[in-house]
Chain A
Amino acid sequence: MTTLTAPPKTAPPPAGHRSPSGVSKWRRRIPLLPALIFTIVVTQLPFVATLVISTFQWNILRPGDRHFTGLSNYAFVFTDERLRAAVLNTVVLTASVVLISVLLGLGLAMLLDRRFIGRGLARTLLIAPFLVMPVAASLLWKHAIYNPDYGLLNGTLNAVYRLFGASNGPTVDWISSYPMPAVVVSLVWQWTPFMMLILLAGLQSQPGDVLEAARMDGAGAMATFRYITLPHLRQYLELGILLGTIYVVQTFDAVYTITQGGPGSQTTNLPYEIYLTMFRKYEYGQAAAAGVVVVLGSIVIATFALRTIASLFREEVSR
Chain B
Amino acid sequence: MTHAAVAAPGARFKKLLRDKDDPSSPRLSPLWTFVAWLATLAFFAPVAWMVLTSFHKEADAATNPPTPFAPLTFDQYKLLFSRDITPFLLNSAMASVISTLLVLVLAVPTAYALSIKPVEKWTDVMFFFLSTKFLPAIAALLPVYLIVKDVGMLDNVWTLIVLYTAMNLPIAVWMMRSFLAEVPKEILEAAEVDGANLFTVLWRVVAPIAMPGLAATSLICFIFSWNEFMFAVNLTATQASTAPVFLVGFITNEGLFLARLCAAATLVSLPVLIAGFAAQDKLVRGLSLGAVK
Contact = CB atoms under 8 A, between A and B. Distances in A.
B140 interface: yes
A49 B106 CA distance: 25
Interface in B137-190: 137-147, 162-163, 165-166, 169-170, 173, 178, 181
A278 B138 CA distance: 10
A115 B26 contact: yes
B193 to A, nearest CB: 13
Interface stretch (A61-69, A71-79, A174-182, A308-316): A308-316
The 8 A-B residue pairs whose C-beta atoms are closest, nearest first, are A31-B109, A291-B139, A49-B143, A302-B134, A136-B265, A159-B65, A42-B166, A116-B28
A interface bracket (residues with beta carbon within 8 Å of B):
35 or more
Given A46-B144, A144-B49, A155-B64, A202 B138 contact: no
Interface in B224-254: 226-227, 229-230, 233-234, 243-244, 247-248, 251
B114 interface: yes
Question: Is chain B's interface secondary structure helix, strand, loop, or mixed overall?
Answer: helix
A252 B233 CA distance: 11
B136 A141 contact: no
B4 A143 contact: no
Given A32-B119, A154-B64, A312 B291 contact: yes
B interface bracket (residues with beta carbon within 8 Å of A):
35 or more
Contact of B26 (A36, A114, A192, A302): A114
A204 B19 contact: yes
Interface of A: 5, 25, 28-32, 34-36, 38-39, 42-47, 49-50, 53, 107-108, 111-118, 120, 122-137, 139-141, 143-145, 149-150, 152, 154-156, 158-159, 162, 189, 192-194, 197-198, 200-202, 204-205, 207-209, 212, 236, 239, 243, 246, 249-250, 252-253, 256-257, 270-271, 274-275, 278-279, 284, 287-288, 291-292, 294-295, 298-299, 301-302, 305-306, 309-310, 312-313, 316-317
Interface of B: 1, 3-4, 8, 15, 18-22, 24-28, 32-33, 35-37, 39-41, 43-47, 49-50, 53, 61-66, 106-107, 109-110, 112-114, 117, 119-120, 123, 125-147, 162-163, 165-166, 169-170, 173, 178, 181, 223, 226-227, 229-230, 233-234, 243-244, 247-248, 251, 256, 258, 261-262, 264-266, 268-269, 272-273, 276-277, 280, 283-285, 287-289, 291-293
Given A149-B64, A156-B65, A295 B139 contact: yes
A309 B289 contact: yes
B247 A25 contact: no
Contacts of B135: 43, 47, 295, 298, 302
Given A31-B113, A208-B24, A49 B146 contact: yes
Question: Is chain A's interface secondary structure helix, strand, loop, or mixed overall?
Answer: helix
Nearest to A293: B139
B229 A253 contact: yes
Contact of A246 (B126, B133, B144): B133
Contact of A198 (B22, B107, B284): B284
Contact of A135 (B50, B139, B244, B273): B244
A144 B261 contact: yes
